Structure 1
C-alpha cells in the first residue's frame, strides 16, 4: 500500500512540476508560443501523469547500473509490502487487512466511475445516432474536406435539434453532429473545424486527460491541467484551420464562433464532446483574439522550454 501511494505521488509530481513550468513560461511568453506547441507540452505532461516512469527508472537502474552485493553471515531481509516472485507467480507480501480494504476501495471507485462514464456515453451515442445526415450536398462537403486534409478516418455525420454548438465525439469511429445552431451558410468552416479535431485525435487525448483527473484527484493541479487541455485543444484546432482560410474567411470564422456561443444552451456535456464553440466569454474572447495571428516559431525558446520541462520532470 505504501509503495503504491509513493508511486502515485511520484507520478503526480513528475507531471505537475513540468506543468507548472509550462504555465509560467507560456504566461510570460504568451505572444511567442503557438497553441500547437503548447498542446505538445501538455501531451508530455499527460504521458508523465499516466506512465509509471519512476517505477521503470527503478527497474532500469537495478538492471543495468546496480551491482548486487553478496550477503555475509545471517542477514534478515524484510519482504513486508514487497512484490515477491515465486515459482507460482507474483504476489504482494504481508499486506494487512486495512491496506487491502483501501486498495480495494480505490480500485472499485475507479471502476465505478469508468463504468458510469461508459454507460453515459453509450446512452448519449444511441440518442445522437438516430438521425444520420442524408443531405448529399453536406456529405459531399465532408468528403471533399476530408480528402483535402488527408484524413484517414471514415467520419459519420449526424443531425440533431439540440440548441447546442456543433460538436465531435468518438475515437475509433469519429462522428460529427450538426445541431440546430449550425449556420447553413458557413457549414464548410464548421465541418473543417470538426475534421481537424478528428485528425488531431483530440477526443482520445480529452479522455486520457480525464483519466489523469481520476487517478490524481488528490492533486489540485490536475484540475487546472484538465481545463488547460480543453482550452489548448480548441486554440490549436483554430490555428490549424486558419492555414486553409483567407483573411475574409478568418473574419467569418470569428464571427461564427461568437454568434454560435451567444445562441447556445448547455444541453451537451462538454467533457463528452468537442464543441465548436461555447458560451464561456473569457475563453471565447481569447480564441477570437488569436484568430488570424500567425505565431512564428521561436526555435531557441521552444527548445529551451522542452529542455527545462524534461529536466524538471527528471
Structure 2
C-alpha cells in the first residue's frame, strides 16, 4: 500500500510541474486555436497515469535534476523506503520546499520495525484510499441519478433524445453516447447544439473527460490537478466551439453565442455534480472566445502544431543523465549504486536498480529476482539466464568471481540482507544443477571488508574504494600471470618486472589490499619460484618502511618467515583548536567528512570563502585539502588525499548551538562547475551569492596556501601527540625523508 501511494505521490509531483507549465503556456496561446492548448493536457495525463518514461536531453524537467531510477525510468522525489531511513528526506527540486519539509520530518530507525515516518505513511495511504472510495461512490451515485432522470426520454432521431426532465442539453454514455435536449428548444438553437455535441463524439471527448476525472480521483489530494481538470474542460469546450465555427462559418457567431446565452439561463443543476455526463459550461468565457475567434493562417497552424508536439515530447521525457567515465568504475554505475542505497532488502525498486547497475559475465543476463523478507535471515535470489543456449558453456570460475564481487557490493549497500543466492537457469526455467548455484553470506563479506562494511558506501569516492577492493584479488592474479609469462628465456625476476611494468605498477596501486592478499599466499608456503620472487618484490615495495628484513640474499619464503612488519603508530585525526568559531566548525566537519580511521589518520587544510546565515541556518563555503598519513618506525607516509570545494550547512537549535545538517561536495567530471555553482546560494532562500562561484574556481587552480597550511597542521598534530624525530617521505620519486619534528 505504501509503495503504491508513494508511486502516486511521485507521479503527482511530476505532473504538477508539467501542469504549471501548461497553465503558463495557455496564456501565451490566447490567439491560437484552443485545440492546441487542449492537446497539451495530454502530457499532464500521461504523467499522472504512467510512473516511467523515456530519457531525453531535451526534457523540460532537466532543471530539477531529480533522482531518475535507471532500472525503471521513474522519477523519485519521495523515496519508497523513507520510513526506514535514518534521515528521512524528500527532494522535489525546489530547495525551499525541501528544507521546510525535511526539517519537520522526524528521524527514523533503518530497521524493519515500525517508526513514526512509517506510521505516517501508512495513515496517509489509508486516508488516500478512503478519499478515492468516497469520490468513486459520489461519482457513481451522481451518474446513476442522471441516467434515472432521463430514462423516459423520447427518441427524436439517431442518437438524439428529448425530455422535459432537463433544462439544458448534455451528452451521456460511454459506448453509444446519446445527446439529450430539453423539450421546446428552437430549431435554430438545436442545430448549434447538435453540431457541438457531435464534435465531442467525433473527438471521443465523451471518453476522455470521464477518464481524466477518474485519474483526478486517484490524485484527489493535489489541488493543482483539480485546477488542471477545470482548465482542461474549459479548453475542451472552447476547442469544440471553434470547430463548429470553423465548419459553419463566422456568420453564425452571433446566433451561436445567443444560443449559449439562452442555455445558460435555463441551465440545469442536475449535471453539476456528475463529470461522467457533461453539458454546457464556462458559458461567459466561451461566448467571449467565440466572438473573438478568427481562423488562423496556415503557417500559424503549422507552427502551433510543431510547438505542441515538441512541448508534449519535452514534458513527457525524463532528464537524461550523462554517462561518462566518472559515473562508472570497473564496470559499476557508481551514481546509480549510491542513489539506490537502502537499509531494507524488501525495497523492490532500489534493490533491482542496484542489481542492474552491476556488470555480468559475457553471455549472461539477469532474469528474475526473488526477495525473501518474511523472516530472518533475509535473502535475495537472483536468477540469471544465458542469452543464447546453443553452443554456450557457462564458465563457472568467471561467473563465480563476478557474482562474488557483486554480492559484496550489495551487502554494503543493503543493510539487512544476510544471504545472496546467484543461480544460472536454462531457457526452460529449470536450474542447471547445484554447480550453477552461487550462495554468499554477509559473514563472508564482512571478513573481507572489516567490521564497518557500510562505511564504504557512504559516498561515491568510498564506494569506488570498495569496488576497487573486491576487484583487487582477481586483478592481482591476472597481472601476476601476465608478468611471469615473459620473457621466458630469462631467469632474472627483474627482467619480468621491467617487461611488464604497467601490470606491476597496477598491483602496487592496490596498496594494502594487494599486500594482504600476497602475504596470505606466502603463509601457504612453497613460494620460492619465479612467481614467489615477483610476489616478494611486490610485498617489499608495498611494505616500504614497515619492512624489517634488510637481507636481500634470502629466498622469498625465507624472507617471509623472518618478516615482522613494524607496527603502525596509531594516531587520532587532526583536532583543530582555533579562536574563530566558524573556522572551528569547518575543521570539525571536514575531519569528520574525510576521516578513514582504518586507513591512517586525517589532517585537513581548509580555505573558507564565506559564511552566510539566514533564518536558523548557517552555510559555509569552503575548499578543503585533506590527506591521510600512516606512521611506521618514525617514518611518515602519505596514504592519499583530495582537494574538494564544498558547502557545509548547519541548523541553529534553540540553545544557539549549530548542528551539522549537510556536507555537500562538488561533483566530478562534467558536473564539477555546475555543482559548485549550485551550492553557492543562500541557505534558506536559495538566492545566488554573487561572485562566490568565480572566486572558488579561480582559487582552485592554486593550492600553495593549502599545502603550507596542511604541513603546518601536520607538524602541530605530531607534536601534540608527542611524536619526535619523525620524517616524511617526500612526495617526489626520490622517496627522500624530510624531517618534520
Compute the TM-score of the two structures, normalised by the length of structure 1.
0.71
- Structure whose CA Rg is larger: 2
Contact 1:164 1:267 (8 Å CA) reproduced:
no
Contact 1:166 1:179 (8 Å CA) reproduced:
yes
Q: Distance in 1 between matches of 2:210 and 2:124?
A: 26
Contact 1:161 1:179 (8 Å CA) reproduced:
yes
Once the two structures are superposed, residues 245-296 of structure 1 have per-residue CA deviations (whole angstroms, 9 ceiling, x without a partner) of: 1333343222211222233343432624322x34x564244333344x2134
Counterpart selection for 1:120 from 125, 142, 167: 142
Q: Distance in 1 between matches of 2:235 and 2:257?
A: 17
Q: Distance in 2 between matches of 1:205 and 1:50?
A: 13
Give the unaligned 5+ runs of structure 1. Answer: 65-77, 82-93, 144-154
Q: CA deviation at 1:237?
A: 0.9
Q: Distance in 2 between matches of 1:306 and 1:216?
A: 26
Q: Alignment length, in residue pairs?
A: 268
Contact 1:35 1:232 (8 Å CA) reproduced:
yes
Q: Distance in 1 between matches of 2:239 and 2:207?
A: 15
After superposition, residues 240-279 of structure 1 pair within 5 angstroms as 240-269=243-272, 271-275=275-279, 277-278=280-281
Q: Which residue of 2 aligns with 1:178?
A: 181
Counterpart selection for 1:194 from 197, 202, 222: 197
Q: Secondary structure at the match of 1:9?
A: helix
Per residue, is there more strand in 1 or in 2? 2
Q: Which residue of 1 aligns with 2:20?
A: 20
Q: Which residue of 1 aligns with 2:296?
A: 295
Is 2:206 the partner of 1:203? yes
Q: Which residue of 1 aligns with 2:45?
A: 46
Q: CA deviation at 1:101?
A: 5.7
Q: Which residue of 1 aligns with 2:8?
A: 8
Q: Secondary structure at the match of 2:247?
A: coil
Q: CA deviation at 1:168?
A: 0.6
Q: Distance in 1 between matches of 2:30 and 2:166?
A: 34
Is 2:70 the partner of 1:61? yes
Q: CA deviation at 1:309?
A: 4.8
After superposition, the Cα gap between the structure-2 partners of 1:55 and 1:127, relative to the gap in structure 1 and judged at 3 Å, is: farther
Q: Which residue of 2 aligns with 1:91?
A: none
Q: CA deviation at 1:194?
A: 1.0
Q: Which residue of 2 aligns with 1:106?
A: 128
Contact 1:242 1:250 (8 Å CA) reproduced:
yes
Identify the range of structure 1 (105-114 vs 165-174) with the bigger mean alpha-carbon deviation: 105-114
Contact 2:170 2:277 (8 Å CA) reproduced:
yes
Contact 2:128 2:221 (8 Å CA) reproduced:
no
Contact 1:11 1:54 (8 Å CA) reproduced:
no
Q: Distance in 2 between matches of 1:201 and 1:273?
A: 13
Q: CA deviation at 1:105?
A: 4.5
Contact 2:29 2:37 (8 Å CA) reproduced:
no
Once the two structures are superposed, residues 44-86 of structure 1 have per-residue CA deviations (whole angstroms, 9 ceiling, x without a partner) of: 211211222269999993389xxxxxxxxxxxxx9x98xxxxx
Q: Which residue of 2 aligns with 1:71?
A: none
Q: Distance in 1 between matches of 2:251 and 2:198?
A: 21
Counterpart selection for 1:215 from 211, 214, 218: 218
Q: Secondary structure at the match of 1:243?
A: helix
Contact 1:110 1:214 (8 Å CA) reproduced:
yes
Q: CA deviation at 1:132?
A: 2.5
Q: Distance in 1 between matches of 2:187 and 2:113?
A: 63
Larger RCO, structure (CA 8 Å, separation 6 or more): 1
Q: Distance in 2 between matches of 1:263 and 1:63?
A: 52
Q: Distance in 2 between matches of 1:112 and 1:199?
A: 32
After superposition, the Cα gap between the structure-2 partners of 1:55 and 1:110, relative to the gap in structure 1 and judged at 3 Å, is: farther
Contact 1:21 1:309 (8 Å CA) reproduced:
no
After superposition, residues 89-100 of structure 1 pair within 5 angstroms as 98=119
Q: CA deviation at 1:308?
A: 4.1
Give the unaligned 5+ runs of structure 2. Answer: 57-66, 74-80, 85-111, 319-741
Q: Distance in 1 between matches of 2:292 and 2:28?
A: 16
Q: CA deviation at 1:184?
A: 2.8
Contact 1:162 1:179 (8 Å CA) reproduced:
yes
Once the two structures are superposed, residues 216-240 of structure 1 have per-residue CA deviations (whole angstroms, 9 ceiling, x without a partner) of: 2222211210111111111111122
After superposition, residues 132-147 of structure 1 pair within 5 angstroms as 132-133=154-155, 135=156, 139=157, 143=158
Counterpart selection for 2:227 from 224, 228, 234: 224
Q: Secondary structure at the match of 1:176?
A: strand
Contact 1:163 1:181 (8 Å CA) reproduced:
no
